[in-house]
Each structure stands twice: as structure tokens, then as C-alpha cells.
């Protein structure tokens, strides 16, 4: 089967995405130079806008993999423009994850773009479509932590280190949560094509509740501790000290005020 390429206007970057990218660049510059009167406010705006950029890239990766797999409708739906307003579940994909970052400080997986599964041929391609989103978060985390694991922190302002560490933390939490093999999350989408028809029929009624079950379980102390221990271990493997990530989280919560150990000006 031949896959028709997306038309040029279907691949043109959305002005909405470009505006978010511009906010990320300007606020990142403000954090780097210390231009802002309130460093915490600059960190908050930089991390929030960069987080929205990563959400757009997450959904774009799903759509791009689906186009490769045979779903030529993703272009007409606007998914290849990185416009967050084009997503089928804009609230789940953007608004809810941003609110969770503000309230809870973790990267919450959002709702995926709508893929016409019948157009995807082959189990490997089905798995790739689901895996592409979390892999985008993994790549984003690697970029954010590159100065740490490359030992290239000389000349990087302290506030910018804090912001990068917290932004990477959000990417790692989002990737790990999304890759759980729980119905409703991308991890289940990776393994679903390999399950028998009978197993899929048994799981199907519970699929709408999987996402909420994960959120509830995170409030169980033992589960919460195990989850964040795993995240901290991954962050350390990327060269990011826990104290640096914690200071990034504290600066992000500008309304609470940063402790003395995390102050940058």
C-alpha cells in the first residue's frame, strides 16, 4: 500500500505553536541572563511554555508515526502542524497536564491524538504509533540534561540549571507514566497489538478508567515512594543532582517563595 504524503499546508507549523515557542525562547533568555526582577516568575514561565512545547511534540510524534504507518488522515486533522488546539482531546493533552505541573509538579501523560487504527498495517507499526509519544519525551529529557551528563555546566547560570533540571524531571515522569502497560496509556498501546483477541475483549471495559487508576495509585504512599525513587534514580543516571531538581521545582512555585539554599539573586 502506498502512503500519500501530507500536503504542504498540512505540515506548516501553526502560528499558535510558534507563539508558544517564542515565549519559551524569551523566558529562557530571561532566566539565563537574570533579566527578570523575579527569577522564580521567569523560571515558571519558561518551564510552563517549554512543557507545552514538549506536549505538542509528544502528540506530533504519535501523528507522524501514524502517517508512516498508513493513516493519511492525520494531516487533514491538523496534527502535523503542532497546533495544540487541533488535538482531539485538547483538555487532556494540554490543559490537564499543565494544571498537574502547577499543582503537583509531575509530568502527567495527556490524551493521544485520534488515530484511525484500521489504516495502520502491521503490529509493529501499531506499537510504534503508541511508543512515539513517550519517546519524544525521552529525547526532550536527554536534550535538557545534556549539559549535566556531558559535564558542560561551566558558564550555565544557576537559575537556568535549576529550570533545565525540573523540566527534565517533568519529561522523565511523563515518559515513565505513559509507558506503563495500563489501558488508556501509551504503554498499553505498545503491547495491545500482541495480545490475543480474548484478552483484549476482557480488558476493553476497563480501558477508560486506567488513566484515573494510575493517578489514584500515586496517592498511595508506598506506590508514590517507589515511583519517585525510580525517577530520582533515572535523574541521577543522567547526571542531575536531586538538590538541583528540587531547587528547580521550588523556583517554579514562585507563589511559595524559594528557600534560601535555592535563591539565585
Active site residues: 59
What DSSP designation does 206 have?
G
Residue 67 burial by CB count (10 A; 0-12/13-18/19+): exposed, middle or buried?
buried
Residue 22 burial by CB count (10 A; 0-12/13-18/19+): exposed, middle or buried?
exposed
For residues 166, 182, 90, 71, the Cα torsion angle rounded to the nearest 10 degrees is: 120
> Which of 237, 246, 248, 3 has its CA nearest to residue 119?
3
User: Do the beta carbons of residue 87 and residue 113 sit within 8 Å?
Assistant: yes
> Which of 115, 114, 113 has its CA nearest to residue 126?
115
For residue 95 the three cell numbers come to 490543559
Residue 217 burial by CB count (10 A; 0-12/13-18/19+): exposed, middle or buried?
middle
Please work out, in degrees rounded to the nearest 5, the angle formed at the alpha carbon of residue 94 by the alpha carbons of 93 and 98. 130
The set of residues, in sequence order, having a beta carbon less than 8 Å from that of 147 and lying 6+ positions away, is 153, 156, 161, 164
d(CA 252, CA 48): 9
User: Do the beta carbons of residue 252 and residue 44 sit within 8 Å?
Assistant: yes
Amino acid at each position: 500500500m502506498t502512503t500519500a504524503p501530507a500536503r504542504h499546508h498540512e505540515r506548516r507549523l501553526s502560528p499558535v505553536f510558534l507563539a508558544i515557542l517564542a515565549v519559551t525562547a524569551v523566558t529562557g533568555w530571561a532566566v539565563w541572563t537574570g533579566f527578570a526582577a523575579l527569577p522564580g516568575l521567569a523560571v515558571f514561565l519558561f518551564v510552563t511554555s517549554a512543557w507545552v512545547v514538549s506536549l505538542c511534540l509528544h502528540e506530533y510524534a504519535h501523528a507522524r508515526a501514524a502517517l508512516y504507518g498508513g493513516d493519511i488522515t492525520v494531516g487533514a486533522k491538523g496534527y502535523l502542524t503542532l497546533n495544540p488546539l487541533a488535538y482531539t482531546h485538547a483538555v487532556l493533552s494540554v490543559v490537564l497536564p499543565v494544571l498537574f505541573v502547577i499543582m503537583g509538579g509531575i509530568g502527567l501523560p495527556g490524551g493521544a491524538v485520534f488515530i484511525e487504527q484500521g489504516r495502520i498495517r502491521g503490529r509493529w507499526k501499531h506499537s510504534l504509533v503508541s511508543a512515539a509519544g513517550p519517546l519524544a519525551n525521552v529525547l526532550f529529557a536527554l536534550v535538557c540534561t545534556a549539559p549535566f551528563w556531558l559535564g558542560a555546566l561551566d558558564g550555565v547560570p544557576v537559575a537556568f540549571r535549576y529550570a533545565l533540571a525540573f523540566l527534565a524531571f517533568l519529561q522523565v515522569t511523563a515518559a515513565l507514566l505513559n509507558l506503563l502497560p495500563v489501558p488508556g496509556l501509551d504503554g498499553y498501546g505498545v503491547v495491545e497489538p500482541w495480545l490475543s483477541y480474548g484478552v483484549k475483549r476482557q480488558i476493553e471495559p476497563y480501558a477508560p478508567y486506567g488513566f484515573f487508576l494510575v493517578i489514584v495509585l500515586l496517592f498511595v504512599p508506598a506506590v508514590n515512594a517507589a515511583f519517585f525513587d525510580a525517577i530520582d534514580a533515572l535523574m541521577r543516571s543522567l547526571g542531575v543532582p536531586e538538590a538541583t531538581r528540587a531547587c528547580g521545582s521550588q523556583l517554579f512555585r514562585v507563589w511559595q517563595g524559594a528557600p534560601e539554599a535555592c535563591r539565585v539573586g
